[in-house]
Chains A and B, each alone.
Chain A
């Protein structure tokens, strides 16, 4: 083998660091969108590497739906403290109280769509001009056409048919007042890459990703965690299961899988053998063939 070559994880890491540094160089008020999920944790880890020995020169933004896993919140606060960065919290509950957003009702109600309002308000009120996210192109078909530097108009909307061409590694972050960019440094990573990287770098992740005993109800082919927000339907019962989560979002819509993978090595083995997509357990993506595209156009992550 040639001496001067990088492994695919080294090359993806180098590409992501390059993109994150471009954001800090091209924008005045960038921020990292932090959900507490593995992808945003990896992005934050990459940002730490990109600016070492300096601290990450931008705040983290967390959109708090009020329907969180307690483990995610603990993890977030500890990470922010360790990194010594600023945390900006946008609260969906506050958006509802102010009348900016209206709570969904019904059995499948979730605060997933309401996050759009809170996210855009938080970006605007903090004058954020570039929001770095952990979305990956392999996650979902609408995301397969997303750019690294994704332009958003003054309403925070995405126009998929009129995206700027993106060539080589030259990123055009020019914009008018009031517009902003979403930037996706790990666009080219797959779920497998993320897990292998977490294993390689030994990155801390919330305990929810590892197998644990939990009360849950089986609905739409997934195990929904029991919580104060979960309304049981007729015929449903709560069971105690050994399970884990492949993605983390709002506790009301994030389903888990039965699993005994309690170490990173076991998770990597499980993910490489699995035959269904990670977002298959997310009821927010199941609303229609183009539900992700529709939400992204409005300003979703």
Chain B
């Protein structure tokens, strides 16, 4: 069984909570006592319907205000796949939460109200999905029951969306007409829309091909820690522990350690269950080398056929996540894979309006939730790939030197 991580974004009234509630309920992932608690809470509030959003809004302040503030993770499984939903709020002031949810997703669910068509929020979600290189988007045209299940209404939304999508960089976009409330095309095919020849949403989620989303061509192994057992049996053992971030490693492969440039060959790839002949992303393994060379946390082991970039001057697209704007000349810990170096923001190129995708070059003071293209200068070389080539070796966060807060998340360009 494979794991599929997907993200949703939206506000209460576009039916996101109802859709998630339905996926969880119809896949029997909501238990009777959870449902009972939600029913009782709904009754106490004097609501006529069971409010499924109570299942997803966990924190006290969220229950009080009736909105999702933070990213909430939901789980369900069918006999075919296990799913992790990163459920995020949709308002512009929660852009950073959407970015967080999108960072680990293989797929984005974009909800559109069939009556309203493509709105600002639709574009924002899709643009974030494209910036974070989510390979697949499923556009759910929801509330089809309110437009008499009309094919024409559906086609109009599809046309609108496709016109917008020409501006973003996502290769796989699919459309499903649904009614989350009535259940049409969510789990089962709808009898109300015989004109729709595609699959139901759940069927698409279960079968969409994701195995080739990992980069299996450029071998990358960021070293987390060095394993040195203090036992006679493994006296000389020196294993480099880490999680493969791309490509395929095999014993005998010639490798280079970056940024030092030292070279060697792989002696063995070890796991608790025994040595393996091949290791690929996202496996956690330990690698031993033929030569006794200097390798430590923060280094990256790569194969000679494709090397990443190594530089102290870096261009990145960042989302600013802190309430406080960057102070002039402030230093940040830049973290990427297992490497950590000091950095400063040298230049702000432009700000992206995430509703219109327009670049603003005049007003470049950075505020929370804004997307900005910047140049960074670091004290030590950074080993990285362009984000579009590899989402692990192409991503970074900035940590404030004085508060220790994560103030920005970014992608290398």
Residues on A close to B: CB < 8 A? 1-2, 4-15, 17-18, 21-22, 24-25, 48-55, 137-138, 141-142, 144-145, 160-161, 163-170, 172, 174-176, 187-188, 190, 192-193, 274-277, 280, 289-290, 293
Contacts and interface: CB of A to CB of B under 8 A. Distances in A.
Interface stretch (B192-200, B278-286, B308-316): B278-286
B336 interface: yes
B148 to A, nearest CB: 36
B338 interface: yes
23 contacts: A2-B211, A4-B211, A7-B1, A8-B1, A8-B82, A14-B282, A15-B282, A15-B284, A18-B284, A21-B284, A25-B297, A52-B270, A55-B229, A141-B58, A145-B73, A161-B59, A165-B321, A167-B397, A174-B399, A174-B404, A187-B73, A289-B63, A290-B63
Contact of B392 (A2, A169, A289): A169
A6 B55 CA distance: 30
Given A6-B283, A167-B397, A277-B34, A161 B61 contact: yes
Interface in B256-292: 270-272, 280, 282-284, 286
A14 B243 contact: yes
A219 B228 CA distance: 52
B59 A160 contact: yes
Contacts of A1: 211
Interface in B47-102: 55-61, 63, 69-75, 77, 81-82, 84, 96-97, 99-100
A14 B284 CA distance: 5
B225 A21 contact: yes
A18 B31 contact: no
A4 B280 contact: yes
A18 B243 contact: yes
B3 interface: yes
B43 to A, nearest CB: 13
A133 to B, nearest CB: 16
Interface of B: 1-3, 28, 31-34, 37, 41, 55-61, 63, 69-75, 77, 81-82, 84, 96-97, 99-100, 103-104, 209, 211-212, 214, 216, 224-225, 227-231, 233-234, 237, 239, 241-243, 248, 270-272, 280, 282-284, 286, 297, 321, 333, 335-338, 391-392, 395-397, 399, 404-406, 409
Contacts, number: 177
Contact of A54 (B59, B100, B209, B230): B230
Q: Top 6 nearest A-B pairs by Cβ distance? A: A141-B58, A2-B211, A54-B229, A49-B272, A174-B404, A8-B3
Given A25-B297, A276-B33, A167 B237 contact: no
Given A280-B31, A280-B33, A50 B58 contact: no
A247 B242 CA distance: 32
A174 B403 CA distance: 9
A290 B64 CA distance: 11
Q: Is the interface of B mostly helix, strand, loop or mixed?
A: mixed
A168 B395 contact: yes
Given A164-B405, A165-B409, A289-B41, A137 B96 contact: no
Contacts of B58: 141-142, 144-145, 293
Contact of B409 (A167, A188, A274): A167
Contact of A14 (B283, B333, B406): B283
A2 B2 CA distance: 11
Contacts of A176: 404
Contact of B224 (A22, A49, A53, A193): A22
Given A167-B395, A168-B395, A277-B34, 16 more contacts: A8-B2, A8-B81, A8-B82, A12-B3, A14-B282, A15-B282, A21-B241, A25-B225, A53-B237, A145-B59, A160-B59, A165-B406, A174-B399, A188-B75, A277-B33, A280-B31
A163 B70 contact: yes
A134 to B, nearest CB: 16
A289 B283 contact: no
Contacts of A165: 96-97, 99-100, 321, 406, 409
Main secondary structure of the interface of A (DSSP, over half): loop
Contacts of B237: 53
Contacts of A174: 333, 399, 404
Nearest to B409: A167
A168 B77 contact: no
A90 B147 CA distance: 62
B224 A18 contact: yes
B131 to A, nearest CB: 12
A221 to B, nearest CB: 9
B77 A192 contact: yes
Given A161-B69, A165-B409, A275 B224 contact: no
Given A53-B237, A54-B230, A169-B392, A6 B73 contact: no
A160 B338 CA distance: 26
Contacts of B61: 161
Contacts of B81: 8
A145 B100 CA distance: 12
Nearest to A176: B404
A49 B285 CA distance: 10
B84 A188 contact: yes
A277 B31 contact: yes
Given A5-B2, A145-B59, A172 B69 contact: no
Contact of B100 (A160, A167, A276): A167
A24 B225 contact: yes
Contacts of A10: 283
A189 B338 CA distance: 24
A280 B31 CA distance: 10
B59 A142 contact: yes
A168 B392 contact: yes
A289 B409 contact: no
Contact of A172 (B224, B233, B248, B399): B399
A49 B243 CA distance: 13
Nearest to A140: B58
A238 B144 CA distance: 56
Nearest to B237: A53
Most A CB atoms within 10 A — which of B3, B103, B321?
B3
A53 B1 contact: no
